[in-house]
Protein backbone atom coordinates (compact mmCIF):
# COMPACT_ATOMS: atom_id res chain seq x y z
CA UNK A 1 0.00 0.00 0.00
CA UNK A 2 2.77 2.45 0.90
CA UNK A 3 4.65 1.59 -2.31
CA UNK A 4 1.56 2.48 -4.35
CA UNK A 5 1.32 5.86 -2.61
CA UNK A 6 4.97 6.61 -3.24
CA UNK A 7 4.68 5.80 -6.93
CA UNK A 8 1.63 8.00 -7.45
CA UNK A 9 2.52 10.90 -5.16
CA UNK A 10 2.60 14.28 -6.91
CA UNK A 11 6.13 15.02 -5.74
CA UNK A 12 7.46 11.83 -7.38
CA UNK A 13 5.60 12.62 -10.59
CA UNK A 14 6.93 16.19 -10.55
CA UNK A 15 10.51 15.08 -9.97
CA UNK A 16 10.24 12.58 -12.82
CA UNK A 17 8.94 15.36 -15.05
CA UNK A 18 11.83 17.66 -14.09
CA UNK A 19 14.28 14.81 -14.67
CA UNK A 20 12.71 14.04 -18.07
CA UNK A 21 12.85 17.70 -19.09
CA UNK A 22 16.46 17.95 -17.96
CA UNK A 23 17.39 14.90 -20.01
CA UNK A 24 15.51 16.27 -23.03
CA UNK A 25 17.20 19.64 -22.67
CA UNK A 26 20.62 18.05 -22.37
CA UNK A 27 20.03 15.84 -25.42
CA UNK A 28 18.58 18.72 -27.47
CA UNK A 29 21.46 20.99 -26.49
CA UNK A 30 24.09 18.42 -27.39
CA UNK A 31 22.36 17.75 -30.72
CA UNK A 32 22.31 21.50 -31.45
CA UNK A 33 25.94 21.96 -30.44
CA UNK A 34 27.00 19.00 -32.57
CA UNK A 35 25.00 20.27 -35.55
CA UNK A 36 26.55 23.72 -35.55
CA UNK A 37 30.02 22.30 -34.83
CA UNK A 38 29.70 19.98 -37.84
CA UNK A 39 28.42 22.86 -39.99
CA UNK A 40 31.48 24.98 -39.21
CA UNK A 41 33.83 22.01 -39.52
CA UNK A 42 32.50 21.49 -43.05
CA UNK A 43 32.97 25.19 -43.83
CA UNK A 44 36.48 25.12 -42.33
CA UNK A 45 37.38 22.03 -44.38
CA UNK A 46 36.03 23.70 -47.52
CA UNK A 47 38.21 26.77 -46.78
CA UNK A 48 41.23 24.56 -46.17
CA UNK A 49 41.61 25.47 -42.47
CA UNK A 50 40.07 22.69 -40.35
CA UNK A 51 39.11 23.73 -36.79
CA UNK A 52 39.85 27.41 -37.39
CA UNK A 53 36.33 28.40 -36.27
CA UNK A 54 36.48 26.99 -32.70
CA UNK A 55 40.10 28.15 -32.42
CA UNK A 56 39.15 31.67 -33.48
CA UNK A 57 36.12 31.79 -31.17
CA UNK A 58 38.13 30.35 -28.28
CA UNK A 59 40.78 33.01 -28.80
CA UNK A 60 38.12 35.71 -28.88
CA UNK A 61 36.58 34.48 -25.61
CA UNK A 62 39.60 33.40 -23.58
CA UNK A 63 42.18 35.91 -24.79
CA UNK A 64 39.90 38.88 -25.21
CA UNK A 65 40.43 38.93 -28.94
CA UNK A 66 44.22 39.29 -28.70
CA UNK A 67 45.64 38.30 -32.06
CA UNK A 68 42.37 38.81 -33.91
CA UNK A 69 43.64 41.91 -35.71
CA UNK A 70 44.54 39.54 -38.55
CA UNK A 71 42.19 36.59 -37.98
CA UNK A 72 42.94 35.00 -41.33
CA UNK A 73 46.55 34.37 -40.24
CA UNK A 74 45.66 33.07 -36.76
CA UNK A 75 47.09 29.56 -36.25
CA UNK A 76 44.79 26.78 -35.04
CA UNK A 77 45.23 26.18 -31.31
CA UNK A 78 43.98 22.82 -30.05
CA UNK A 79 43.77 24.29 -26.54
CA UNK A 80 41.37 26.98 -27.78
CA UNK A 81 39.41 24.37 -29.76
CA UNK A 82 38.89 22.22 -26.65
CA UNK A 83 38.08 25.17 -24.35
CA UNK A 84 35.65 26.69 -26.82
CA UNK A 85 34.00 23.33 -27.49
CA UNK A 86 33.28 22.92 -23.76
CA UNK A 87 31.78 26.39 -23.50
CA UNK A 88 29.81 25.88 -26.71
CA UNK A 89 28.34 22.57 -25.50
CA UNK A 90 27.50 24.04 -22.09
CA UNK A 91 25.71 27.04 -23.60
CA UNK A 92 23.73 24.81 -25.95
CA UNK A 93 22.77 22.51 -23.05
CA UNK A 94 21.42 25.53 -21.16
CA UNK A 95 19.51 26.68 -24.26
CA UNK A 96 18.22 23.12 -24.78
CA UNK A 97 17.06 22.97 -21.16
CA UNK A 98 15.21 26.26 -21.51
CA UNK A 99 13.65 25.13 -24.79
CA UNK A 100 12.47 21.84 -23.25
CA UNK A 101 10.85 23.68 -20.36
CA UNK A 102 9.23 26.29 -22.62
CA UNK A 103 7.80 23.59 -24.87
CA UNK A 104 6.47 21.68 -21.86
CA UNK A 105 4.81 24.92 -20.77
CA UNK A 106 3.36 25.41 -24.28
CA UNK A 107 2.11 21.84 -24.23
CA UNK A 108 0.03 22.65 -21.13
CA UNK A 109 -0.94 26.14 -22.33
CA UNK A 110 -1.23 26.20 -26.13
CA UNK A 111 -1.84 29.97 -26.20
CA UNK A 112 1.78 30.49 -25.12
CA UNK A 113 3.13 28.77 -28.24
CA UNK A 114 3.13 31.85 -30.46
CA UNK A 115 4.89 33.91 -27.80
CA UNK A 116 7.56 31.24 -27.47
CA UNK A 117 8.03 31.19 -31.26
CA UNK A 118 8.32 34.97 -31.29
CA UNK A 119 10.86 34.79 -28.44
CA UNK A 120 12.92 32.35 -30.51
CA UNK A 121 12.92 34.65 -33.57
CA UNK A 122 13.91 37.68 -31.48
CA UNK A 123 16.62 35.66 -29.72
CA UNK A 124 18.04 34.32 -33.01
CA UNK A 125 18.26 37.68 -34.72
CA UNK A 126 19.39 39.36 -31.51
CA UNK A 127 22.26 36.90 -31.33
CA UNK A 128 23.32 37.66 -34.92
CA UNK A 129 23.01 41.41 -34.32
CA UNK A 130 25.10 41.19 -31.13
CA UNK A 131 27.71 39.16 -33.00
CA UNK A 132 27.81 41.80 -35.75
CA UNK A 133 28.31 44.57 -33.19
CA UNK A 134 30.67 42.95 -30.68
CA UNK A 135 32.51 40.36 -32.74
CA UNK A 136 33.36 42.24 -35.93
CA UNK A 137 36.90 40.76 -36.20
CA UNK A 138 35.48 37.25 -35.86
CA UNK A 139 32.89 37.93 -38.54
CA UNK A 140 35.69 38.78 -40.97
CA UNK A 141 36.37 35.03 -41.00
CA UNK A 142 32.90 33.71 -40.09
CA UNK A 143 30.38 35.56 -42.18
CA UNK A 144 27.08 36.49 -40.55
CA UNK A 145 25.08 34.41 -43.09
CA UNK A 146 27.14 31.34 -42.12
CA UNK A 147 26.51 32.05 -38.43
CA UNK A 148 22.79 32.62 -39.02
CA UNK A 149 22.43 29.49 -41.15
CA UNK A 150 24.37 27.39 -38.62
CA UNK A 151 22.18 28.62 -35.76
CA UNK A 152 19.00 28.00 -37.76
CA UNK A 153 20.22 24.52 -38.68
CA UNK A 154 20.92 23.75 -35.02
CA UNK A 155 17.51 25.16 -34.06
CA UNK A 156 15.78 22.92 -36.61
CA UNK A 157 17.59 19.84 -35.28
CA UNK A 158 16.81 20.76 -31.67
CA UNK A 159 13.23 21.69 -32.51
CA UNK A 160 12.62 18.46 -34.40
CA UNK A 161 13.96 16.42 -31.50
CA UNK A 162 11.88 18.32 -28.95
CA UNK A 163 8.76 18.29 -31.17
CA UNK A 164 8.86 14.49 -31.14
CA UNK A 165 9.34 14.46 -27.38
CA UNK A 166 6.30 16.71 -26.82
CA UNK A 167 3.41 15.13 -28.75
CA UNK A 168 0.89 17.42 -27.06
CA UNK A 169 2.20 20.51 -28.87
CA UNK A 170 -0.15 22.07 -31.36
CA UNK A 171 0.73 24.52 -34.09
CA UNK A 172 -2.42 26.58 -33.53
CA UNK A 173 -4.43 26.75 -30.29
Domain boundaries, the chain: 24-165
The CA distances from residue 23 to 47, 116, 162, 165, 170, in Å, are 36, 20, 11, 11, 22
Q: From CA 98, how far away is CA 91, in angstroms rounded?
A: 11
Closest CA to 29 of 85, 94, 115, 75: 94
Burial of 86-102, coded b for 16+ CB within 10 Å and e otherwise, reads: eebbeebbebbbebbeb
**Least confident interval from 78-92, 93-107, 111-125:** 111-125
C-alpha to C-alpha distance for 94 and 84, rounded to whole angstroms: 15
Rounding to the nearest 10 degrees, give the CA dihedral for residues 19, 21, 27, 28: -170
Residue 82 scores a pLDDT above 90: yes
At residue 48 the predicted structure's pLDDT band, cuts being 50, 70 and 90, is very high
Q: What is the DSSP letter of 142?
A: S
Q: What is the pTM of this model?
A: 0.80
pLDDT band of residue 4 (cuts 50, 70, 90) is: very low
Model confidence over 117-142: pLDDT tens digits? 788 888 878 877 877 777 777 777 78
Query: What is the tens place of the pLDDT at every residue in 156-170?
Result: 999 899 989 887 776
* C-alpha distance from residue 144 to each of 38, 69, 99, 130, 157 (Å): 17, 18, 24, 11, 20
pLDDT for the residue numbered 170: 66
pLDDT band at 8 (very low <50, low <70, confident <90, very high): very low
Amino acid sequence: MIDELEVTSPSRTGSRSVERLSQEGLAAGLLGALTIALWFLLLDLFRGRPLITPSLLGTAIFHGGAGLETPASLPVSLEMVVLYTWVHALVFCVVGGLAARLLAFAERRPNAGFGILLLFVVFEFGFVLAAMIFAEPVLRVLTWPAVLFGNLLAAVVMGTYLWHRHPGLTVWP
